[in-house]
């Protein structure tokens, strides 16, 4: 075989290989786009520990999985939740997760990510959330304006400097203890029963008009004189107050 034939053969083989590779990539991309993955075993997991957890789930059909319970399993990545559009409950507490995209989990009602390494979390697409637990992370900012169905929020031991809870009028329980909050306005949270805001930097606390018993814990804060007087009034009439 002369040099020209060898060159032609090499080019032909290279072209065929490139075509097959491109076809394979496009086919895989098309499969992802069309959502043809049906079972947990169809997915290529980024994190072996998360795969092991999902592999033990009672339901292996992706579209039918409504609950995932994977606490304390050394999980660093859980990207594959994007293939679980009907997920309602997600517990990934006490893992090593630094970021998580929940934008495809629009039916999510309960989310527990306590004890991870999150610094931020976008919840704009999770408008059915009722219970949110983010304790013991590194969260600096949290936007819950779209989560109007929230009933309980627990975000103790983070580094929040401010939070807007005005849209979360259904809140019954708030735990934002051990953060870096300087002011706290819960005047719109008219259904509130318990507030734990100890160990912050709060000087001004704006409360709702109370028409039921409430438990307030705001000790270890540099409260203003006006706030203290307000809390004394509540303590005498409509609740238990620790400050």
Res 15: pLDDT: 57
181 part of a folded domain: yes
The C-alpha angle 59, 64, 70, rounded to 5 degrees, equals 55
Res 25: pLDDT: 44
105-117: burial string, b at 16+ Cβ within 10 Å, e else: bebbbbbbbbbbe
What is the extent of the structural domain holding 15? 1-36
Tally of structural domains, the chain: 2
185 part of a folded domain: yes
User: For residue range 139-157, what is the model confidence (pLDDT) as tens digits?
Assistant: 999 999 999 999 999 999 9
115 part of a folded domain: no
Res 32: pLDDT: 44
Token readout for 196 is 């734990």
User: For residue range 179-198, what is the model confidence (pLDDT) as tens digits?
Assistant: 999 999 999 999 999 999 99
Closest CA to 116 of 160, 68, 155: 155
Res 17: pLDDT: 53
211 part of a folded domain: yes
User: For residue range 109-132, what is the model confidence (pLDDT) as tens digits?
Assistant: 999 999 999 999 999 999 999 999
196 part of a folded domain: yes
The distance from CA 183 to its chain's CA centroid, rounded to whole angstroms, is: 24
**How far apart, in Å, do the first and last CA atoms of the chain sit?**
92
82 part of a folded domain: no
83 part of a folded domain: no
112 part of a folded domain: no
190-229: burial string, b at 16+ Cβ within 10 Å, e else: eebebbbbbbbebbebebeeeeeebebbbebbebeeebee
In this prediction, the residues of the chain whose per-residue pLDDT falls under 50 are 7, 9, 21-22, 24-34
Res 26: pLDDT: 45
């Amino acid at each position: 075989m002369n040099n020209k034939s060898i060159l032609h053969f090499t080019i032909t083989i290279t072209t065929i290989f490139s075509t097959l590779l491109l076809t394979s990539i496009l086919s895989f991309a098309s499969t992802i786009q069309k959502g043809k993955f049906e079972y947990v075993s169809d997915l290529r997991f980024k994190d072996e520990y998360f795969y092991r957890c999902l592999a033990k789930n009672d339901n292996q059909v992706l579209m039918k999985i409504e609950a995932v319970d994977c606490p304390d399993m050394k999980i660093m990545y859980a990207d594959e939740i994007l293939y679980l559009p009907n997920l309602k409950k997600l517990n990934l507490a006490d893992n090593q997760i630094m970021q998580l995209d929940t934008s495809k989990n629009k039916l999510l009602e309960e989310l527990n990510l306590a004890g991870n390494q999150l610094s931020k979390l976008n919840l704009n697409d999770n408008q059915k959330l009722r219970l949110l637990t983010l304790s013991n992370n590194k969260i600096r900012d949290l936007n819950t304006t779209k989560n109007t169905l929230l009933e309980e929020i627990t975000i103790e031991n983070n580094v929040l400097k401010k939070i807007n809870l005005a849209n979360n009028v259904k809140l019954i329980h708030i735990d934002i203890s051990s953060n870096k909050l300087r002011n706290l306005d819960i005047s719109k949270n008219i259904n509130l029963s318990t507030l734990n805001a100890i160990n912050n930097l709060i000087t001004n606390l704006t409360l709702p008009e109370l028409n039921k018993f409430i438990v307030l814990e705001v000790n270890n804060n540099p409260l203003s004189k006006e706030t203290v007087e307000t809390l004394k009034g509540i303590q005498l009439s409509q609740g238990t107050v620790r400050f």
